[in-house]
Chains A and B, each alone.
Chain A
Amino acid sequence: MTILWFILWSVLKVAVVTVVMLLGVAYTVLLERKLVGRIQNRWGPTRVGPFGLLQPLVDGAKSFLKEDIIPTGVYRPLYLLAPILALGCSLILIGVVPFGAPFSVFGSPNLFQISDVNVGLLVILGVTSIGVYGIALAGWSSNNKYSLLGALRSSAQLVSYELALGLSLVGVVLRAGTLNLRLIVEQQAQHGALSWNISPWSRFGGMQFVAFFIYLMAAFAETNRSPFDLPEAESELTGGYHTEYSSMKFAMFFMAEYGNMINVGCVATLLFLGGWTNPFGNLFGTSHNIFVQALMPLFWFVLKVFSFLFLYVWVRGTQPRFRYDQLMNFGWRWLMPLAILNIVATSLWLALR
Protein backbone atom coordinates (compact mmCIF):
# COMPACT_ATOMS: atom_id res chain seq x y z
CA MET A 1 0.00 0.00 0.00
CA THR A 2 1.39 3.37 -0.92
CA ILE A 3 1.90 6.12 1.60
CA LEU A 4 -0.68 8.26 -0.19
CA TRP A 5 -3.44 5.70 0.32
CA PHE A 6 -2.41 5.34 3.94
CA ILE A 7 -2.66 9.09 4.54
CA LEU A 8 -6.01 9.25 2.75
CA TRP A 9 -7.44 6.42 4.86
CA SER A 10 -6.03 7.97 8.03
CA VAL A 11 -7.56 11.37 7.31
CA LEU A 12 -10.89 9.70 6.61
CA LYS A 13 -10.74 7.67 9.82
CA VAL A 14 -9.76 10.71 11.89
CA ALA A 15 -12.61 12.76 10.41
CA VAL A 16 -15.24 10.09 11.04
CA VAL A 17 -14.04 9.29 14.56
CA THR A 18 -13.86 12.97 15.52
CA VAL A 19 -17.40 13.60 14.33
CA VAL A 20 -18.68 10.50 16.17
CA MET A 21 -16.77 11.51 19.29
CA LEU A 22 -18.21 15.04 19.26
CA LEU A 23 -21.71 13.67 18.75
CA GLY A 24 -21.05 11.22 21.56
CA VAL A 25 -20.03 14.09 23.82
CA ALA A 26 -23.16 16.06 22.92
CA TYR A 27 -25.45 13.13 23.60
CA THR A 28 -23.64 12.20 26.81
CA VAL A 29 -24.66 15.64 28.05
CA LEU A 30 -28.25 14.87 27.12
CA LEU A 31 -28.01 11.44 28.75
CA GLU A 32 -26.80 13.04 31.94
CA ARG A 33 -29.55 15.65 31.97
CA LYS A 34 -32.22 13.05 31.31
CA LEU A 35 -30.96 10.55 33.85
CA VAL A 36 -30.27 13.06 36.61
CA GLY A 37 -33.75 14.40 35.90
CA ARG A 38 -35.24 10.95 36.42
CA ILE A 39 -33.21 10.42 39.58
CA GLN A 40 -34.51 13.73 40.92
CA ASN A 41 -38.08 12.84 39.93
CA ARG A 42 -38.46 15.24 37.03
CA TRP A 43 -38.44 14.92 33.26
CA GLY A 44 -35.22 16.53 32.09
CA PRO A 45 -35.23 18.27 28.68
CA THR A 46 -38.34 17.35 26.66
CA ARG A 47 -39.17 20.37 24.51
CA VAL A 48 -36.75 20.30 21.57
CA GLY A 49 -37.49 17.45 19.20
CA PRO A 50 -38.97 14.09 20.21
CA PHE A 51 -38.03 13.27 23.85
CA GLY A 52 -35.72 16.33 23.77
CA LEU A 53 -33.37 14.52 21.41
CA LEU A 54 -32.37 17.70 19.55
CA GLN A 55 -31.44 19.51 22.76
CA PRO A 56 -27.63 19.10 22.27
CA LEU A 57 -27.79 20.80 18.87
CA VAL A 58 -29.70 23.73 20.34
CA ASP A 59 -27.26 23.94 23.22
CA GLY A 60 -24.38 24.07 20.77
CA ALA A 61 -26.04 26.79 18.75
CA LYS A 62 -26.67 28.75 21.94
CA SER A 63 -23.01 28.51 22.95
CA PHE A 64 -21.92 29.77 19.55
CA LEU A 65 -24.34 32.70 19.54
CA LYS A 66 -23.63 33.91 23.07
CA GLU A 67 -21.40 36.94 23.56
CA ASP A 68 -17.81 35.90 24.08
CA ILE A 69 -16.57 37.97 27.00
CA ILE A 70 -12.86 38.19 27.78
CA PRO A 71 -12.44 39.94 31.13
CA THR A 72 -9.90 42.78 31.21
CA GLY A 73 -7.78 41.30 34.01
CA VAL A 74 -6.93 38.00 32.32
CA TYR A 75 -3.57 37.00 30.90
CA ARG A 76 -4.73 36.68 27.33
CA PRO A 77 -2.38 34.17 25.63
CA LEU A 78 -2.85 31.51 28.27
CA TYR A 79 -6.52 32.35 28.79
CA LEU A 80 -7.10 31.57 25.11
CA LEU A 81 -4.76 28.57 25.06
CA ALA A 82 -6.27 26.74 28.05
CA PRO A 83 -9.63 25.60 26.59
CA ILE A 84 -7.94 24.48 23.36
CA LEU A 85 -5.46 22.43 25.35
CA ALA A 86 -8.20 20.83 27.47
CA LEU A 87 -10.40 19.90 24.52
CA GLY A 88 -7.47 18.87 22.32
CA CYS A 89 -6.14 16.42 24.90
CA SER A 90 -9.54 14.86 25.41
CA LEU A 91 -10.12 14.40 21.66
CA ILE A 92 -6.64 13.07 20.82
CA LEU A 93 -6.92 10.08 23.14
CA ILE A 94 -9.46 8.24 21.02
CA GLY A 95 -6.76 8.00 18.35
CA VAL A 96 -5.07 5.03 20.00
CA VAL A 97 -8.23 3.26 21.17
CA PRO A 98 -9.16 0.11 19.21
CA PHE A 99 -12.96 0.20 19.17
CA GLY A 100 -13.57 -2.86 17.01
CA ALA A 101 -11.95 -6.10 15.97
CA PRO A 102 -9.20 -5.65 13.34
CA PHE A 103 -11.05 -5.36 10.05
CA SER A 104 -10.08 -4.06 6.64
CA VAL A 105 -11.72 -3.59 3.25
CA PHE A 106 -10.17 -2.85 -0.15
CA GLY A 107 -6.65 -3.10 1.26
CA SER A 108 -7.27 -0.42 3.84
CA PRO A 109 -5.44 -0.36 7.15
CA ASN A 110 -7.40 -1.52 10.22
CA LEU A 111 -10.71 0.35 10.02
CA PHE A 112 -11.52 0.33 13.72
CA GLN A 113 -8.38 1.87 15.14
CA ILE A 114 -6.74 5.08 14.00
CA SER A 115 -3.24 4.14 15.02
CA ASP A 116 -1.99 0.91 16.58
CA VAL A 117 0.77 2.17 18.87
CA ASN A 118 3.07 -0.26 20.65
CA VAL A 119 2.97 1.78 23.83
CA GLY A 120 -0.70 2.77 23.51
CA LEU A 121 -1.36 2.59 27.23
CA LEU A 122 1.54 4.95 27.98
CA VAL A 123 0.32 7.35 25.29
CA ILE A 124 -3.03 7.48 27.04
CA LEU A 125 -1.41 8.16 30.42
CA GLY A 126 0.86 10.79 28.87
CA VAL A 127 -1.88 12.71 27.11
CA THR A 128 -4.03 12.57 30.26
CA SER A 129 -1.20 14.07 32.26
CA ILE A 130 -0.79 16.88 29.70
CA GLY A 131 -4.52 17.60 30.05
CA VAL A 132 -3.90 18.92 33.57
CA TYR A 133 -2.39 22.06 32.06
CA GLY A 134 -5.67 23.05 30.44
CA ILE A 135 -7.33 23.32 33.83
CA ALA A 136 -4.34 24.71 35.70
CA LEU A 137 -3.66 27.44 33.14
CA ALA A 138 -7.35 28.33 32.88
CA GLY A 139 -7.52 28.94 36.60
CA TRP A 140 -4.29 30.85 36.81
CA SER A 141 -4.74 33.07 33.75
CA SER A 142 -8.30 34.05 34.72
CA ASN A 143 -6.91 36.19 37.53
CA ASN A 144 -9.80 35.30 39.81
CA LYS A 145 -9.49 33.79 43.27
CA TYR A 146 -12.22 31.21 42.73
CA SER A 147 -10.64 30.13 39.47
CA LEU A 148 -7.21 29.90 41.04
CA LEU A 149 -8.45 27.87 44.00
CA GLY A 150 -10.31 25.58 41.63
CA ALA A 151 -7.22 25.12 39.48
CA LEU A 152 -4.99 24.44 42.49
CA ARG A 153 -7.41 21.89 43.86
CA SER A 154 -7.67 20.31 40.47
CA SER A 155 -3.93 20.06 39.82
CA ALA A 156 -3.33 18.55 43.26
CA GLN A 157 -6.20 16.13 42.81
CA LEU A 158 -5.15 15.05 39.32
CA VAL A 159 -1.51 14.55 40.27
CA SER A 160 -2.47 12.55 43.37
CA TYR A 161 -4.96 10.28 41.67
CA GLU A 162 -2.82 9.79 38.58
CA LEU A 163 -0.55 7.68 40.80
CA ALA A 164 -3.29 5.34 41.94
CA LEU A 165 -4.63 5.21 38.40
CA GLY A 166 -1.27 4.32 36.88
CA LEU A 167 -0.53 1.71 39.55
CA SER A 168 -3.93 0.07 39.11
CA LEU A 169 -3.11 -0.56 35.45
CA VAL A 170 0.17 -2.32 36.23
CA GLY A 171 -1.61 -5.57 37.11
CA VAL A 172 -3.23 -5.68 33.69
CA VAL A 173 0.09 -4.98 31.97
CA LEU A 174 1.75 -7.70 34.06
CA ARG A 175 -0.78 -10.25 32.89
CA ALA A 176 -0.73 -9.15 29.25
CA GLY A 177 3.02 -8.61 28.99
CA THR A 178 2.49 -5.77 26.54
CA LEU A 179 1.45 -2.13 26.47
CA ASN A 180 -0.31 -2.49 23.13
CA LEU A 181 -4.06 -1.97 23.66
CA ARG A 182 -5.10 -4.26 20.81
CA LEU A 183 -3.02 -7.13 22.16
CA ILE A 184 -4.31 -6.55 25.68
CA VAL A 185 -7.85 -6.94 24.36
CA GLU A 186 -7.07 -9.95 22.19
CA GLN A 187 -5.61 -11.69 25.20
CA GLN A 188 -8.98 -11.42 26.94
CA ALA A 189 -10.92 -12.83 24.00
CA GLN A 190 -10.70 -16.60 24.50
CA HIS A 191 -13.55 -17.51 26.82
CA GLY A 192 -15.93 -14.56 26.71
CA ALA A 193 -16.56 -12.80 30.00
CA LEU A 194 -14.68 -15.50 31.91
CA SER A 195 -11.36 -14.43 30.45
CA TRP A 196 -11.74 -10.69 30.92
CA ASN A 197 -9.22 -9.08 33.20
CA ILE A 198 -11.90 -8.31 35.78
CA SER A 199 -12.93 -11.94 36.04
CA PRO A 200 -12.08 -13.68 39.35
CA TRP A 201 -11.79 -17.17 37.78
CA SER A 202 -8.06 -17.66 38.01
CA ARG A 203 -8.01 -20.31 35.28
CA PHE A 204 -9.15 -18.00 32.47
CA GLY A 205 -9.41 -14.49 33.85
CA GLY A 206 -7.05 -11.80 35.02
CA MET A 207 -8.05 -11.54 38.73
CA GLN A 208 -7.97 -7.73 38.42
CA PHE A 209 -11.26 -6.95 40.17
CA VAL A 210 -9.53 -4.93 42.91
CA ALA A 211 -7.56 -3.00 40.31
CA PHE A 212 -10.80 -2.35 38.46
CA PHE A 213 -12.39 -0.65 41.45
CA ILE A 214 -9.23 1.35 42.14
CA TYR A 215 -9.21 2.42 38.51
CA LEU A 216 -12.87 3.33 38.65
CA MET A 217 -12.47 5.58 41.67
CA ALA A 218 -9.25 7.17 40.43
CA ALA A 219 -10.91 7.75 37.06
CA PHE A 220 -13.82 9.58 38.66
CA ALA A 221 -11.27 11.87 40.32
CA GLU A 222 -9.24 12.24 37.13
CA THR A 223 -12.24 13.48 35.18
CA ASN A 224 -13.32 15.87 37.97
CA ARG A 225 -16.66 14.17 38.22
CA SER A 226 -18.91 13.93 41.23
CA PRO A 227 -18.21 12.81 44.00
CA PHE A 228 -14.74 14.27 43.33
CA ASP A 229 -15.85 17.43 41.53
CA LEU A 230 -14.11 19.77 43.94
CA PRO A 231 -12.34 21.83 41.25
CA GLU A 232 -15.68 23.26 40.21
CA ALA A 233 -17.68 22.89 43.41
CA GLU A 234 -20.45 25.42 42.77
CA SER A 235 -21.35 25.97 46.41
CA GLU A 236 -17.76 26.86 47.31
CA LEU A 237 -16.05 28.20 44.20
CA THR A 238 -18.93 29.57 42.06
CA GLY A 239 -17.63 27.68 39.04
CA GLY A 240 -14.04 26.74 39.81
CA TYR A 241 -11.47 27.00 37.08
CA HIS A 242 -13.94 28.01 34.36
CA THR A 243 -15.69 30.80 36.30
CA GLU A 244 -14.40 33.51 33.97
CA TYR A 245 -15.10 31.66 30.74
CA SER A 246 -18.18 32.24 28.63
CA SER A 247 -19.72 31.21 25.34
CA MET A 248 -17.80 28.71 23.22
CA LYS A 249 -14.71 28.70 25.45
CA PHE A 250 -16.80 27.50 28.35
CA ALA A 251 -18.41 24.97 26.06
CA MET A 252 -14.95 23.69 25.16
CA PHE A 253 -14.18 22.94 28.80
CA PHE A 254 -17.55 21.32 29.10
CA MET A 255 -16.95 19.16 26.05
CA ALA A 256 -13.48 18.26 27.33
CA GLU A 257 -14.99 16.99 30.57
CA TYR A 258 -17.51 14.76 28.79
CA GLY A 259 -14.90 13.69 26.23
CA ASN A 260 -12.71 12.58 29.13
CA MET A 261 -15.60 10.61 30.57
CA ILE A 262 -15.90 8.74 27.28
CA ASN A 263 -12.13 8.19 27.16
CA VAL A 264 -12.02 6.80 30.66
CA GLY A 265 -14.92 4.51 29.81
CA CYS A 266 -13.03 3.34 26.70
CA VAL A 267 -9.86 2.61 28.67
CA ALA A 268 -11.75 0.73 31.40
CA THR A 269 -13.52 -1.28 28.72
CA LEU A 270 -10.29 -2.14 26.95
CA LEU A 271 -8.27 -3.02 30.00
CA PHE A 272 -10.78 -4.71 32.28
CA LEU A 273 -13.92 -5.63 30.35
CA GLY A 274 -12.41 -7.23 27.29
CA GLY A 275 -12.75 -4.34 24.85
CA TRP A 276 -14.76 -5.25 21.78
CA THR A 277 -15.02 -8.94 22.64
CA ASN A 278 -18.28 -10.75 23.05
CA PRO A 279 -19.15 -11.57 26.70
CA PHE A 280 -20.64 -14.94 25.63
CA GLY A 281 -17.47 -16.07 23.89
CA ASN A 282 -18.32 -18.73 21.31
CA LEU A 283 -21.46 -19.85 23.10
CA PHE A 284 -23.74 -18.83 20.23
CA GLY A 285 -21.26 -19.43 17.43
CA THR A 286 -20.03 -16.81 15.00
CA SER A 287 -21.83 -15.28 12.05
CA HIS A 288 -20.47 -15.57 8.53
CA ASN A 289 -22.05 -12.34 7.36
CA ILE A 290 -19.26 -9.82 6.88
CA PHE A 291 -21.32 -6.87 8.14
CA VAL A 292 -22.25 -8.69 11.32
CA GLN A 293 -18.62 -9.69 11.81
CA ALA A 294 -17.54 -6.06 11.49
CA LEU A 295 -20.30 -4.42 13.50
CA MET A 296 -20.91 -6.80 16.42
CA PRO A 297 -17.56 -5.96 18.11
CA LEU A 298 -18.40 -2.28 17.64
CA PHE A 299 -21.77 -2.88 19.28
CA TRP A 300 -20.25 -4.60 22.32
CA PHE A 301 -17.64 -1.87 22.69
CA VAL A 302 -20.19 0.92 22.56
CA LEU A 303 -22.46 -0.95 24.96
CA LYS A 304 -19.66 -1.33 27.51
CA VAL A 305 -18.62 2.32 27.23
CA PHE A 306 -22.26 3.34 27.52
CA SER A 307 -22.64 1.37 30.74
CA PHE A 308 -19.71 3.34 32.15
CA LEU A 309 -21.32 6.62 31.18
CA PHE A 310 -24.52 5.43 32.84
CA LEU A 311 -22.56 4.61 36.00
CA TYR A 312 -20.99 8.08 35.96
CA VAL A 313 -24.37 9.77 35.84
CA TRP A 314 -25.85 7.40 38.40
CA VAL A 315 -23.07 8.17 40.88
CA ARG A 316 -23.38 11.87 40.21
CA GLY A 317 -27.08 11.77 40.87
CA THR A 318 -26.82 9.89 44.15
CA GLN A 319 -23.53 10.67 45.92
CA PRO A 320 -22.61 13.81 47.90
CA ARG A 321 -19.33 15.57 47.27
CA PHE A 322 -16.18 14.67 49.20
CA ARG A 323 -14.45 17.18 51.44
CA TYR A 324 -10.99 18.15 50.25
CA ASP A 325 -9.02 16.50 53.06
CA GLN A 326 -11.13 13.34 52.72
CA LEU A 327 -10.26 13.33 49.03
CA MET A 328 -6.52 13.55 49.68
CA ASN A 329 -6.61 10.99 52.52
CA PHE A 330 -8.57 8.56 50.41
CA GLY A 331 -6.23 8.89 47.44
CA TRP A 332 -2.95 8.66 49.29
CA ARG A 333 -3.75 6.46 52.29
CA TRP A 334 -6.16 3.96 50.77
CA LEU A 335 -6.09 3.79 47.01
CA MET A 336 -2.32 3.94 46.54
CA PRO A 337 -1.32 1.28 49.11
CA LEU A 338 -4.16 -0.91 47.86
CA ALA A 339 -2.90 -0.53 44.28
CA ILE A 340 0.62 -1.48 45.35
CA LEU A 341 -0.70 -4.52 47.23
CA ASN A 342 -2.60 -5.48 44.11
CA ILE A 343 0.60 -5.35 42.07
CA VAL A 344 2.40 -7.56 44.59
CA ALA A 345 -0.48 -10.05 44.72
CA THR A 346 -0.79 -10.17 40.94
CA SER A 347 2.94 -10.74 40.49
CA LEU A 348 2.88 -13.58 43.04
CA TRP A 349 -0.15 -15.15 41.37
CA LEU A 350 1.47 -14.91 37.93
CA ALA A 351 4.74 -16.34 39.22
CA LEU A 352 3.22 -19.26 41.14
CA ARG A 353 0.48 -20.11 38.65
Chain B
Amino acid sequence: MHLILFLVFAGLCLAGAINLLLQSHPINSALSLIVVMVSLAVLYLLLGAEFLAAAQVIVYAGAIMVLFTFVVMLLNAGREERTLGSRVARAVGFPAVVAILAVIATVILHAQGLGVARLSDGITSTEELSAVLFTKLLLPFEVTSVLILIAILGAVALASHCGSEEQGTGIRDQGSAVTLAGSDNRILQSPQGNAERTGEE
Protein backbone atom coordinates (compact mmCIF):
# COMPACT_ATOMS: atom_id res chain seq x y z
CA MET B 1 0.00 0.00 0.00
CA HIS B 2 2.76 2.39 1.03
CA LEU B 3 4.81 1.44 -2.00
CA ILE B 4 1.93 2.01 -4.42
CA LEU B 5 1.25 5.44 -2.93
CA PHE B 6 4.94 6.27 -3.04
CA LEU B 7 5.23 5.29 -6.71
CA VAL B 8 2.10 7.27 -7.66
CA PHE B 9 3.10 10.46 -5.87
CA ALA B 10 6.80 10.28 -6.72
CA GLY B 11 5.74 9.93 -10.35
CA LEU B 12 3.35 12.85 -10.00
CA CYS B 13 6.10 14.90 -8.40
CA LEU B 14 8.54 14.20 -11.22
CA ALA B 15 5.89 14.79 -13.88
CA GLY B 16 5.06 18.14 -12.28
CA ALA B 17 8.70 19.14 -12.15
CA ILE B 18 9.28 18.25 -15.81
CA ASN B 19 6.06 19.98 -16.83
CA LEU B 20 7.23 23.05 -14.93
CA LEU B 21 10.27 23.25 -17.19
CA LEU B 22 8.48 22.45 -20.43
CA GLN B 23 5.51 24.82 -20.13
CA SER B 24 5.92 28.15 -21.86
CA HIS B 25 3.20 29.98 -19.94
CA PRO B 26 4.22 31.19 -16.47
CA ILE B 27 0.89 30.35 -14.86
CA ASN B 28 1.10 26.74 -16.03
CA SER B 29 4.59 26.53 -14.62
CA ALA B 30 3.41 27.95 -11.31
CA LEU B 31 0.57 25.41 -11.15
CA SER B 32 2.97 22.54 -11.91
CA LEU B 33 5.08 23.76 -9.03
CA ILE B 34 2.01 23.51 -6.79
CA VAL B 35 1.54 19.91 -7.92
CA VAL B 36 5.17 19.23 -7.01
CA MET B 37 4.70 20.81 -3.56
CA VAL B 38 1.54 18.86 -2.78
CA SER B 39 2.95 15.53 -3.91
CA LEU B 40 6.06 16.23 -1.83
CA ALA B 41 3.73 16.71 1.13
CA VAL B 42 2.27 13.27 0.49
CA LEU B 43 5.79 11.80 0.37
CA TYR B 44 6.54 13.40 3.76
CA LEU B 45 3.35 11.84 5.08
CA LEU B 46 4.48 8.42 3.82
CA LEU B 47 7.70 8.91 5.78
CA GLY B 48 5.59 9.50 8.90
CA ALA B 49 6.09 13.26 9.15
CA GLU B 50 2.51 14.45 9.32
CA PHE B 51 3.19 17.91 10.72
CA LEU B 52 5.77 18.56 8.03
CA ALA B 53 3.30 17.43 5.36
CA ALA B 54 0.61 19.80 6.61
CA ALA B 55 3.09 22.65 6.95
CA GLN B 56 4.33 21.98 3.43
CA VAL B 57 0.81 22.37 2.04
CA ILE B 58 -0.04 25.43 4.15
CA VAL B 59 3.21 27.32 3.68
CA TYR B 60 4.39 26.40 0.21
CA ALA B 61 1.27 25.45 -1.73
CA GLY B 62 -1.09 27.73 0.18
CA ALA B 63 0.89 30.90 0.83
CA ILE B 64 4.04 31.21 -1.25
CA MET B 65 2.58 29.85 -4.47
CA VAL B 66 -0.49 32.06 -4.04
CA LEU B 67 1.88 35.03 -4.13
CA PHE B 68 3.53 33.59 -7.26
CA THR B 69 0.25 33.25 -9.11
CA PHE B 70 -0.81 36.63 -7.75
CA VAL B 71 2.25 38.26 -9.31
CA VAL B 72 1.77 36.40 -12.59
CA MET B 73 -1.83 37.60 -12.69
CA LEU B 74 -0.90 41.18 -11.80
CA LEU B 75 1.84 41.41 -14.41
CA ASN B 76 -0.42 39.64 -16.88
CA ALA B 77 2.70 37.87 -18.13
CA GLY B 78 2.26 36.35 -21.56
CA ARG B 79 3.83 33.33 -23.17
CA GLU B 80 7.54 32.92 -23.03
CA GLU B 81 9.17 33.90 -26.31
CA ARG B 82 11.65 31.67 -28.08
CA THR B 83 14.65 33.67 -29.21
CA LEU B 84 18.05 32.72 -30.53
CA GLY B 85 19.51 33.32 -27.08
CA SER B 86 16.99 31.03 -25.38
CA ARG B 87 17.69 28.26 -27.91
CA VAL B 88 21.42 28.55 -27.29
CA ALA B 89 20.80 28.57 -23.54
CA ARG B 90 18.73 25.41 -23.87
CA ALA B 91 21.36 23.66 -26.00
CA VAL B 92 24.14 24.55 -23.57
CA GLY B 93 22.12 24.55 -20.36
CA PHE B 94 20.74 21.02 -20.29
CA PRO B 95 24.12 19.29 -20.70
CA ALA B 96 25.64 21.72 -18.19
CA VAL B 97 22.95 20.95 -15.59
CA VAL B 98 23.37 17.21 -16.14
CA ALA B 99 27.13 17.55 -15.73
CA ILE B 100 26.83 19.58 -12.51
CA LEU B 101 24.28 17.15 -11.04
CA ALA B 102 26.52 14.22 -11.94
CA VAL B 103 29.49 15.83 -10.20
CA ILE B 104 27.47 16.64 -7.06
CA ALA B 105 25.98 13.13 -7.01
CA THR B 106 29.37 11.42 -7.30
CA VAL B 107 30.83 13.60 -4.56
CA ILE B 108 27.97 12.85 -2.19
CA LEU B 109 27.95 9.13 -3.01
CA HIS B 110 31.68 9.02 -2.50
CA ALA B 111 31.39 10.71 0.87
CA GLN B 112 28.50 8.82 2.46
CA GLY B 113 27.27 6.13 0.09
CA LEU B 114 23.65 5.37 -0.76
CA GLY B 115 21.54 5.81 2.37
CA VAL B 116 18.32 3.97 3.04
CA ALA B 117 15.07 5.86 3.55
CA ARG B 118 12.32 3.70 4.95
CA LEU B 119 8.62 4.28 4.41
CA SER B 120 7.32 4.20 7.95
CA ASP B 121 4.15 2.79 9.43
CA GLY B 122 4.49 4.89 12.56
CA ILE B 123 3.93 8.60 12.69
CA THR B 124 6.05 11.23 14.35
CA SER B 125 3.57 13.23 16.37
CA THR B 126 3.63 17.00 16.56
CA GLU B 127 4.48 16.73 20.26
CA GLU B 128 7.67 14.77 19.64
CA LEU B 129 8.65 17.14 16.86
CA SER B 130 8.15 20.24 18.99
CA ALA B 131 9.99 18.63 21.92
CA VAL B 132 13.05 18.21 19.69
CA LEU B 133 12.61 21.61 18.09
CA PHE B 134 12.34 23.51 21.38
CA THR B 135 14.97 21.63 23.40
CA LYS B 136 17.77 20.16 21.29
CA LEU B 137 17.47 22.49 18.32
CA LEU B 138 16.41 25.63 20.20
CA LEU B 139 19.35 27.78 19.15
CA PRO B 140 19.18 27.06 15.38
CA PHE B 141 15.41 27.52 15.58
CA GLU B 142 15.68 30.94 17.23
CA VAL B 143 18.50 32.02 14.92
CA THR B 144 16.39 31.09 11.89
CA SER B 145 13.48 33.13 13.19
CA VAL B 146 15.79 36.12 13.71
CA LEU B 147 16.99 35.63 10.14
CA ILE B 148 13.42 35.78 8.86
CA LEU B 149 12.77 38.86 11.00
CA ILE B 150 15.78 40.54 9.37
CA ALA B 151 14.41 39.70 5.94
CA ILE B 152 11.04 41.21 6.87
CA LEU B 153 12.67 44.37 8.23
CA GLY B 154 14.74 44.64 5.08
CA ALA B 155 11.65 44.35 2.90
CA VAL B 156 9.85 47.01 4.94
CA ALA B 157 12.87 49.32 4.79
CA LEU B 158 13.14 48.91 1.02
CA ALA B 159 9.42 49.50 0.51
CA SER B 160 9.28 52.61 2.70
CA HIS B 161 12.41 53.99 1.00
CA CYS B 162 10.82 53.63 -2.46
CA GLY B 163 7.64 55.25 -1.20
CA SER B 164 9.36 58.32 0.28
CA GLU B 165 11.07 59.05 -3.04
CA GLU B 166 7.79 59.25 -4.88
CA GLN B 167 5.10 60.39 -2.50
CA GLY B 168 4.13 59.39 1.02
CA THR B 169 4.89 56.16 2.80
CA GLY B 170 4.37 52.56 1.90
CA ILE B 171 0.90 52.78 3.34
CA ARG B 172 0.05 55.52 0.86
CA ASP B 173 1.24 53.19 -1.87
CA GLN B 174 -1.13 50.57 -0.65
CA GLY B 175 -3.85 53.19 -0.68
CA SER B 176 -3.21 54.07 -4.31
CA ALA B 177 -3.29 50.41 -5.26
CA VAL B 178 -6.61 50.31 -3.51
CA THR B 179 -8.01 53.18 -5.54
CA LEU B 180 -6.84 51.36 -8.64
CA ALA B 181 -8.82 48.32 -7.61
CA GLY B 182 -11.76 50.39 -6.48
CA SER B 183 -11.86 52.70 -9.48
CA ASP B 184 -13.55 50.23 -11.74
CA ASN B 185 -16.97 51.58 -10.92
CA ARG B 186 -15.97 54.57 -13.00
CA ILE B 187 -15.62 52.23 -15.94
CA LEU B 188 -18.95 51.83 -17.67
CA GLN B 189 -21.13 49.20 -16.11
CA SER B 190 -21.71 46.32 -18.44
CA PRO B 191 -25.04 46.66 -20.29
CA GLN B 192 -26.33 43.32 -19.07
CA GLY B 193 -26.49 44.74 -15.58
CA ASN B 194 -25.82 42.60 -12.61
CA ALA B 195 -24.59 39.07 -12.83
CA GLU B 196 -27.20 36.45 -12.42
CA ARG B 197 -27.18 34.84 -9.02
CA THR B 198 -29.76 32.24 -8.28
CA GLY B 199 -29.66 32.89 -4.57
CA GLU B 200 -30.48 36.57 -4.70
CA GLU B 201 -33.36 38.90 -5.38
Residue numbers of A with Cβ under 8 A of B are 29, 32-33, 59, 62-63, 78, 117-119, 122-123, 125-130, 132-133, 136-137, 139-140, 145-146, 148-149, 151-153, 155-156, 158-159, 162, 177-179, 232, 234-240, 242-243, 250-251, 254, 323-325, 328
Are A126 and B66 CB-contacts (below 8 A) given A235-B185, A238-B194, A239-B195?
Answer: no
Decide if B132 is an interface residue (CB 8 Å cutoff). Answer: no
Q: Are B66 and A251 in contact (CB under 8 A)?
A: no
Q: Are B198 and A133 in contact (CB under 8 A)?
A: no
Q: Which residue of B lies closest to A78 (CB)?
A: B27
**CA distance in complex: A316, B178 (Å):** 23
Are A130 and B199 CB-contacts (below 8 A) given A118-B125, A156-B70, A324-B182?
Answer: no
Q: Are B69 and A136 in contact (CB under 8 A)?
A: yes
> Cβ of B74: which chain A residues have Cβ within 8 Å of it?
152
**CA distance in complex: A250, B195 (Å):** 11
Q: Are B190 and A122 in contact (CB under 8 A)?
A: no
Q: Which residue of A lies closest to B123 (CB)?
A: A118
Q: Are A236 and B178 in contact (CB under 8 A)?
A: no
Are A254 and B73 CB-contacts (below 8 A) given A122-B54, A136-B66, A159-B67?
Answer: no
**CA distance in complex: A162, B62 (Å):** 10
Q: Are A130 and B73 in contact (CB under 8 A)?
A: no
> Cβ of B178: which chain A residues have Cβ within 8 Å of it?
324-325, 328
**CA distance in complex: A28, B178 (Å):** 33
Decide if B126 is an interface residue (CB 8 Å cutoff). Answer: yes
> Cβ of B196: which chain A residues have Cβ within 8 Å of it?
239, 250
**CA distance in complex: A323, B185 (Å):** 13
Decide if B175 is an interface residue (CB 8 Å cutoff). Answer: yes
Q: Quick one: which of B123, B187, B196, B199 has the most chain A CB within 10 A?
A: B199
Decide if B110 is an interface residue (CB 8 Å cutoff). Answer: no
Q: A32-B199, A152-B74, A238-B189 are in contact. List 15 more A-B contacts (CB 8 A).
A: A59-B198, A125-B54, A133-B66, A136-B73, A146-B190, A155-B70, A155-B73, A159-B63, A235-B185, A236-B184, A242-B195, A250-B196, A254-B199, A324-B181, A328-B174
By the criterion of a CB under 8 Å from any partner CB, how many residues of chain B are at the interface?
A: 43
> Cβ of A119: which chain B residues have Cβ within 8 Å of it?
50-51, 53-54, 126
Residue numbers of B with Cβ under 8 A of A are 27, 31, 34, 38, 50-51, 53-55, 57-58, 61-63, 66-67, 69-70, 72-74, 123, 125-127, 174-175, 178, 181-182, 184-185, 187, 189-190, 192, 194-200
**CA distance in complex: A31, B196 (Å):** 19
Smallest Cβ distance from B184 to chain A, in angstroms? Answer: 6
Q: Are B184 and A237 in contact (CB under 8 A)?
A: yes
Smallest Cβ distance from A220 to chain B, in angstroms? Answer: 17
- B182 in complex: contacting residue of A62, A122, A162, A236, CB < 8 Å: A236
Are A140 and B195 CB-contacts (below 8 A) given A130-B62, A238-B189?
Answer: no
Complex A-B: 5 CB contacts under 8 Å: A133-B31, A152-B73, A234-B197, A238-B189, A240-B195
Q: Are A153 and B195 in contact (CB under 8 A)?
A: no
Are A149 and B181 CB-contacts (below 8 A) given A119-B126, A155-B70, A238-B189?
Answer: yes
> Cβ of A243: which chain B residues have Cβ within 8 Å of it?
195
Are A325 and B175 CB-contacts (below 8 A) given A29-B198, A59-B198?
Answer: yes
> Cβ of A117: which chain B residues have Cβ within 8 Å of it?
50
> Cβ of A125: which chain B residues have Cβ within 8 Å of it?
54, 58, 62
